[in-house]
A and B are shown apart, each in its own frame.
Chain A
Amino acid sequence: MATLTLENVTKRFADGDDEIVAVDDVSIEIDDGEFLVLVGPSGCGKSTTLRMVAGLETISEGAIAIDDEIINDVPAQRRDIAMVFQSYALYPHMTVRENMRFGLEESTDLDAETMDGSVERTAELLEIEELLDRKPGELSGGQQQRVALGRAIVRDPAVFLMDEPLSNLDAKLRAGMRMELQRLQNELDVTTVYVTHDQTEAMTMGDRIAILDGGRLQQVATPLECYHRPRNLFVAGFIGEPSMNFFDATLEGDELLLEGTELSYPLSASIREELEGETELVLGVRPEDVEIAAESTDDHAFPVTVDVVEPMGNENNLLATFEGSELSVNAIVDGMRHVEAGQRYAARLPESAIHLFDRSSGRALHNRRIDDEEKLLETRV
């Protein structure tokens, strides 16, 4: 039970004579019992951030505190945290029971009986009781994953750290473990920081997600807020699969001219007011918001040719090209609908669903409209 605070945390690595800033001035406050997902592309500094919290890397600048105690100079051994590694990092010469007991033996003064009791209770929770006397080498990947979790849980730490714990599992198992991890975290109610590069994991697991790019924090918010109210171009493009469509556009009068095409997109006055006078913009729209119709019906719909249809069963992913240009757009339509590759359709980009970004800074100037905003964005997993 603890809060975890990162205040202006910076990490610099020496690279010959140069310095590389891996983590740049990151501040996050994580509530007691909260599940925070740190997400970003590889090399964005998410693992380094986690390792600083764990005490495996020194902190170049800033402070990390558990509750109100600053832990910058507390060695990893005494930070009261537990970590699950991507490689599981089990001790191969010890049985599962010994693996799970190791942390208790090294960090507490409990007597043997109490330790055995905790190990067995944790094993029960994770349904690995029958594996207790086996060695890691005899276990499957999924079982090793559970043992690694068990080794962390049994310690009953103030903070859990997880470094891409699911990335070595196959897709089916991963989906199952995702749910299971959330269940466990809910049940144990331990403050958790979870690092992943997988935006699906970030969206589905986190109470809040913190998106990092190039060592800088891009946005910290609930998953749906990041999805519907991205603070900048990077977040908009990173969250969501398939990614948001982006078109460079220039505001002229009350119309957006889409670059590389002859198309113009009429913009209502209320949206124009939000643009703070910027005219060099990026228009964004999510694939599921693009409406595909047989004929263009209003001035927000443009003729396209469908190039590729990817049937997913529940939906079809389309790749279409605007007529008279090379600009293409991703769209998702219902799986029951038949769309023919090579045919002409009209793609409508509803004004209520568009996002507009400042092209030079990437800052979001306008985000999509949401009907029942409070109810939707308050949703926590």
Chain B
Amino acid sequence: MTAAERTESTSSEGRIATTLETIDSQRAALYAVLLGLIAFYLSPLWGGLTTAFKTQTGFVQTTPLAPPTPEWFTLEPWELAFATMQGGLVNSLLFVVPATILSALFGSLAAYGLTKLSWRGQIGILVLFLAGVFLPYQSVLVPLRQFWSAVDLAGLLAFAPFLANRADLIELTVTHTAYGIPICTILFRSYYKTLDDEMIEAAKIDGASAFGIYKRIVLPLSMPMFAVTLIYQFTQVWNDLLFALVLVTSRSNYVVTQSLNELQGSMAQEYNIQMAGAFIAALPTILIYVVFGRQFAKGITGAS
């Protein structure tokens, strides 16, 4: 090795060492920032969780982020919250599941008609669907209440007392289904536009009717998008309080968001019970994410 070569190799080693150092310090800084962000975003959740396991005195005497000590540890808030919300959970499930499935199904059908079938005036209809996406809940509250006052659903269902008693929930189902159709249609439409037109034509030549093609080709291929809309709609409808406040009149039909609201004491705020209630109310949406998570990822990345 000549002198010149030697100097070159040392200097290049030096460069590598400096590069490694900068990478390391950069990486350390990156992790520090990430950890900070995680702590920042998780702290409310953590605070809620610790509070839910503390007695009222424990809550008053410790900071919210401190974990419950054995002295103040209790499951009572969970039991109390669950006892109050039990009925609401059942009622919510009763209307959220059909509303979610129906809006996804109708949205998918409408999107199929707007992408893979040809007929006049599609653009006009599509514009209506798009407008529907942007209608705020608040703007329809009054007409909505008036509509359901005009339609005496309980009277119409008088022949079946079980349904008549649940008329509020059926109203919620219909309302949320109608309200969810536009966004579901737009979501499915973007997905169906990527489906191969030649495949639809092949099915047509194979003798399948328009509905046959939907049932046997389009619907089975829509599962990833169904996961997306089911998760999205379930969360939206489950978490809604506004429509429930306007439409649900009888206490026996209170939905989960209303029963969560009931946990608010009139005199003293029992934060531990409220926190436990919030977690109970959120549990089903989290479960839905876990169950449909993989399909959801497929759906939003467009893989089929």
Chain A: residues with CB nearer than 8 A to chain B?
Answer: 54-56, 76-79, 81-83, 85-87, 89-93, 102-103, 106-108, 151, 155
Tell me if B193 is interfacial: C-beta within 8 Å of chain A. no
Residues of A within 8 A of B209 (CB): 77, 106
Greatest chain B CB density within 10 A among A77, A92, A93 is at A77
Tell me if B117 is interfacial: C-beta within 8 Å of chain A. no
16 contacting pairs across A/B (C-beta < 8 A): A54-B205, A55-B205, A56-B201, A56-B204, A77-B205, A77-B207, A78-B207, A82-B206, A83-B202, A85-B201, A89-B199, A90-B202, A92-B304, A102-B216, A106-B203, A106-B208
Residue of B nearest to A82 (CB): B205
Residues of A within 8 A of B208 (CB): 77, 102, 106
Q: Shortest Cβ distance from A61 into chain B, in angstroms? A: 20
**Chain B window 43-68, contacts with chain A (Cβ cutoff 8 Å), 1 for yes, 0 for no:** 00000000000000000000000000
Tell me if B121 is interfacial: C-beta within 8 Å of chain A. no
Which 8 pairs of residues, A with B, have the shortest CB-CB distance? A107-B207, A103-B206, A106-B207, A89-B198, A89-B202, A89-B199, A106-B208, A85-B198
Residues of B within 8 A of A89 (CB): 196, 198-199, 201-202
Interchain CA distance A318-B199 in the complex, whole Å:
45
In the complex, the answer to whether B212 meets A106 with C-beta atoms within 8 Å is: yes
In the complex, the answer to whether B204 meets A91 with C-beta atoms within 8 Å is: no
In the complex, the answer to whether A91 meets B207 with C-beta atoms within 8 Å is: no
Residues of A within 8 A of B32 (CB): none
Interchain CA distance A76-B209 in the complex, whole Å:
10
Interchain CA distance A162-B160 in the complex, whole Å:
58
Interchain CA distance A103-B217 in the complex, whole Å:
12
- Complex interface residues of chain B between 196 and 244 (CB less than 8 A to chain A): 196, 198-199, 201-209, 212, 216-217, 220-221
Interchain CA distance A199-B208 in the complex, whole Å:
34
Residue of B nearest to A76 (CB): B204
Residue of B nearest to A84 (CB): B202
Residues of B within 8 A of A82 (CB): 205-206
Contact residue among A54, A92, A103 (Cβ-Cβ distance under 8 Å from B207): A103
Residues of A within 8 A of B212 (CB): 106
Residues of B within 8 A of A76 (CB): 201, 204-205
Residues of B within 8 A of A81 (CB): 205
Are A77 and B204 CB-contacts (below 8 A) given A91-B217, A93-B220, A102-B216? yes
Are A85 and B207 CB-contacts (below 8 A) given A92-B304, A93-B221? no
In the complex, the answer to whether B199 meets A91 with C-beta atoms within 8 Å is: yes
Q: Shortest Cβ distance from B52 into chain A, in angstroms? A: 45
In the complex, the answer to whether A106 meets B202 with C-beta atoms within 8 Å is: no
Interchain CA distance A377-B292 in the complex, whole Å:
66
Interchain CA distance A56-B117 in the complex, whole Å:
12
State which size class the interface on B falls in: 10 to 19
Residue of A nearest to B199 (CB): A89
Are A102 and B206 CB-contacts (below 8 A) given A93-B220, A93-B221? yes
Interchain CA distance A93-B216 in the complex, whole Å:
10
Interchain CA distance A55-B201 in the complex, whole Å:
10
Q: Shortest Cβ distance from B191 into chain A, in angstroms? A: 14
Interchain CA distance A90-B203 in the complex, whole Å:
9
Residues of B within 8 A of A91 (CB): 199, 202-203, 217
Interchain CA distance A151-B205 in the complex, whole Å:
11
Q: Shortest Cβ distance from B198 into chain A, in angstroms? A: 4
Residues of B within 8 A of A79 (CB): 205
Residues of A within 8 A of B217 (CB): 91, 93
Q: Shortest Cβ distance from A106 into chain B, in angstroms? A: 4
Contact residue among B198, B205, B304 (Cβ-Cβ distance under 8 Å from A86): B198
In the complex, the answer to whether B221 meets A85 with C-beta atoms within 8 Å is: no
In the complex, the answer to whether A83 meets B203 with C-beta atoms within 8 Å is: no
Residues of A within 8 A of B304 (CB): 92
Interchain CA distance A278-B204 in the complex, whole Å:
52
Residue of B nearest to A80 (CB): B207
Interchain CA distance A373-B206 in the complex, whole Å:
44
Residues of B within 8 A of A155 (CB): 206
Interchain CA distance A37-B208 in the complex, whole Å:
28
Q: Shortest Cβ distance from B112 into chain A, in angstroms? A: 16
Residues of B within 8 A of A107 (CB): 206-207
Residues of A within 8 A of B201 (CB): 54, 56, 76, 83, 85, 89
Interchain CA distance A76-B199 in the complex, whole Å:
14
Residues of A within 8 A of B216 (CB): 102
Residue of B nearest to A51 (CB): B201
In the complex, the answer to whether B205 meets A83 with C-beta atoms within 8 Å is: yes
Interchain CA distance A152-B216 in the complex, whole Å:
18
Interchain CA distance A85-B203 in the complex, whole Å:
11
Residues of A within 8 A of B199 (CB): 87, 89-91
Residues of B within 8 A of A151 (CB): 202, 206
Residues of B within 8 A of A92 (CB): 221, 304
Residues of B within 8 A of A87 (CB): 196, 198-199
Q: Shortest Cβ distance from A55 into chain B, in angstroms? A: 7
**Chain B window 264-279, contacts with chain A (Cβ cutoff 8 Å), 1 for yes, 0 for no:** 0000000000000000
Residue of B nearest to A157 (CB): B205
Q: Shortest Cβ distance from A327 into chain B, in angstroms? A: 45
Residues of A within 8 A of B221 (CB): 92-93
Interchain CA distance A86-B197 in the complex, whole Å:
12
Residues of A within 8 A of B203 (CB): 91, 102, 106
Residues of A within 8 A of B220 (CB): 93
Residues of B within 8 A of A54 (CB): 201, 205
Greatest chain A CB density within 10 A among B205, B208, B216, B217 is at B205
Residues of B within 8 A of A78 (CB): 207
Q: Shortest Cβ distance from B170 into chain A, in angstroms? A: 35
